[in-house]
Chain A
Amino acid sequence: MILFEPFHLPFMARALVELLVLGALAGTVGVLVLLRRLAFVSDTLTHTVFPGVVIGHLMAGNGGIFWGALAAGVVTAVLLTLLTQRRRVNEDAALAMLLTTLFAVGVVLVSRQTGFTSDLTAFLFGRVLTVTEAQLAQTAVVTVVVVALLAVLRRPLLLRAFDPEGAQAAGVRVGLLDLVLNVAVALVVVAAVKAVGTVLVIALLIVPAAAARRLSDRLAVIVPLACVVGAAAGWLGLVVSYEASVGHGVRLASGATVVLVLVTMYVLAHVAGFVRRKAGLSRARRRSVLEAA
């Protein structure tokens, strides 16, 4: 069957596992990003991880990418947390400056390399088909750590997202909690660099959570649904890009295909959500008419 056949190839199987795990990880973290309205902060993180990727690659080759990304991710997560705690700074402008500056540093560094465009494409858009078992292990470890951390902190995270002042009043250390979430986002970016690159990872974070939110009002449903949407988009994206390349001779970049599948799923979720709300409204109307009668 077309949905399973490509994954008899070992490199396709590795790519599938990588995207399934990443989809679940990004889905979980993405729900919090959505609730906290941190899309722009997350986008900044994706761009600031980029110079770390380049420096890691320059210093230690492919094996250095993860550690370079990790260092850059954690440092910028701390910087962003400090920046967003100070209300007086114009936050958007500051983030935009940080984002472009560090991104430019990355481009300058990578442009000094021979094979510049090939490296640049790999860092920006990922090469999921060349994922190694070591990278799979890194992704798995990051996933376990991040999901465990968020599961333990789920109550203060929820309270802080819903009612920041109430959280402070209840003695929640809001600054520390914000740092944890920013580091979690950075870790998702780091884990996803190899598979989808630093630019496309933002879609993996935002779209599954947004799609799941269209379909449910309950967090207990939204979180697992976002994981499923993220993982399913990874799977389908791989199948589509494989079929197009092998079956029809059309070369589709797998990372970008995954993102397009995600967006398609969001559109479907949006339509389904619209129908659901309509149905809910007319049910409520019927009930109130019955009650009135």
Chain B
Amino acid sequence: MSEHAPTLVLDRASVAYGDVPVLEELHGVVHEGEAVALIGPNGAGKSTFIKALLGLVPVVRGRIEVLGRPPAQARRDVAYVPQADTLDPDFPVSVEQVVMMGRYRRIGWLRRPSAADRAEVADALEQVGLAGRARDRFGTLSGGQRQRVLLARAIAAKPRMLLLDEPFNGVDAVSQHALLEAIGALKAQGASVVVSTHDLAIAHLACDEVCLLNRHQFGFGPTGDVLTPERLRATYGGHALELRGDRVIVTQT
């Protein structure tokens, strides 16, 4: 299907918190430059899926490989973008400082950020369309802009895989466009992207593959093949309605 190297391999994997399995039977492959959308209702395990790729939730059966390594050993090349609204808006950091956090691994503990680090930070802010806001306090930005700053932080880390947890939730159209553009640019540079979302339109727009999740996997493959009314209904447990044959509306997420 793709001549590019696989970056994510899921081989009949189950992940669990303690004794409680959260996700079972994950199976699929993602290649360089591809984006996969994680789709499923709330509580389906989308965040857990992402944490498993970071090695923060143990794999109890099967195998997960990120960039050819066990997840915990791949973190150096993986960037995670949390939901902006989980962060304290009163925290006294500037936009620039937040993006610089993406460079911490390269800077280390003691060295001062170099001119190259500063250039990467400026570039990353440029890519998300917030170059003029570098010195503003993070919390003074709108929700969508904060989400873009967090994406810029990930870009500054120069990742080979990008993990985004519901980045489009409550985000205005301008920010959504900027996020999609920046994600597209990362893909073009060969990074793989895993993005959880409620928005089927975004999955169609931005992603090559879809993984349907609700405690276990209801489908993994090319967007057009997987986002079918039958599979969505199965995933959402009857809360998905069919409109005009090929459109699906999810009534309860």
A165 touches B101 (CB 8 A): no
* B residues apposed to A, CB below 8 Å: 54, 56, 75-76, 78-80, 82, 86-88, 91-94, 97-98, 101, 104-105, 107, 109-110, 137, 150, 153, 163
> How many Å lie between the Cα of A163 and that of B147 in the bound state?
13
> How many Å lie between the Cα of A155 and that of B107 in the bound state?
10
Is A219 on the interface with B (CB-CB < 8 A)? yes
Given contacts A35-B91, A171-B76, contact A152 B56 (CB under 8 A): no
Given contacts A162-B101, A165-B82, A217-B137, contact A222 B92 (CB under 8 A): yes
A11 CB to nearest chain B CB (Å):
39
Q: Chain A contacts of B94 at CB under 8 A?
A: 217-218
Show 29 A/B contacts (Cβ-Cβ < 8 Å), sorted by A: A35-B91, A152-B110, A154-B109, A155-B104, A155-B109, A158-B97, A158-B101, A159-B101, A161-B91, A162-B87, A162-B88, A162-B93, A162-B98, A163-B82, A163-B101, A166-B82, A169-B75, A169-B78, A169-B79, A170-B101, A170-B105, A171-B75, A171-B105, A213-B92, A217-B137, A218-B92, A219-B92, A219-B93, A219-B97
Among residues of A, the one whose C-beta sits closest to the C-beta of B88 is: A162
Among residues of A, the one whose C-beta sits closest to the C-beta of B78 is: A169
A163 touches B92 (CB 8 A): no
> How many Å lie between the Cα of A35 and that of B82 in the bound state?
19
Interface residue tally for chain A (C-beta within 8 Å): 23
Q: Chain A contacts of B54 at CB under 8 A?
A: 168-169
Question: Contact check: which of A152, A156, A170 meets B75 at CB < 8 Å?
Answer: A170
> How many Å lie between the Cα of A106 and that of B110 in the bound state?
41
Interface members, chain A 194-243 (any B CB < 8 Å): 213, 216-219, 222
Is A153 on the interface with B (CB-CB < 8 A)? yes
B105 touches A163 (CB 8 A): no
B196 CB to nearest chain A CB (Å):
14
B80 touches A170 (CB 8 A): yes
A170 touches B92 (CB 8 A): no
Output the residue of B92, B94, B104, B137 with the most chain A CB within 10 A.
Answer: B92
Given contacts A162-B88, A218-B92, contact A156 B109 (CB under 8 A): yes
A16 CB to nearest chain B CB (Å):
30
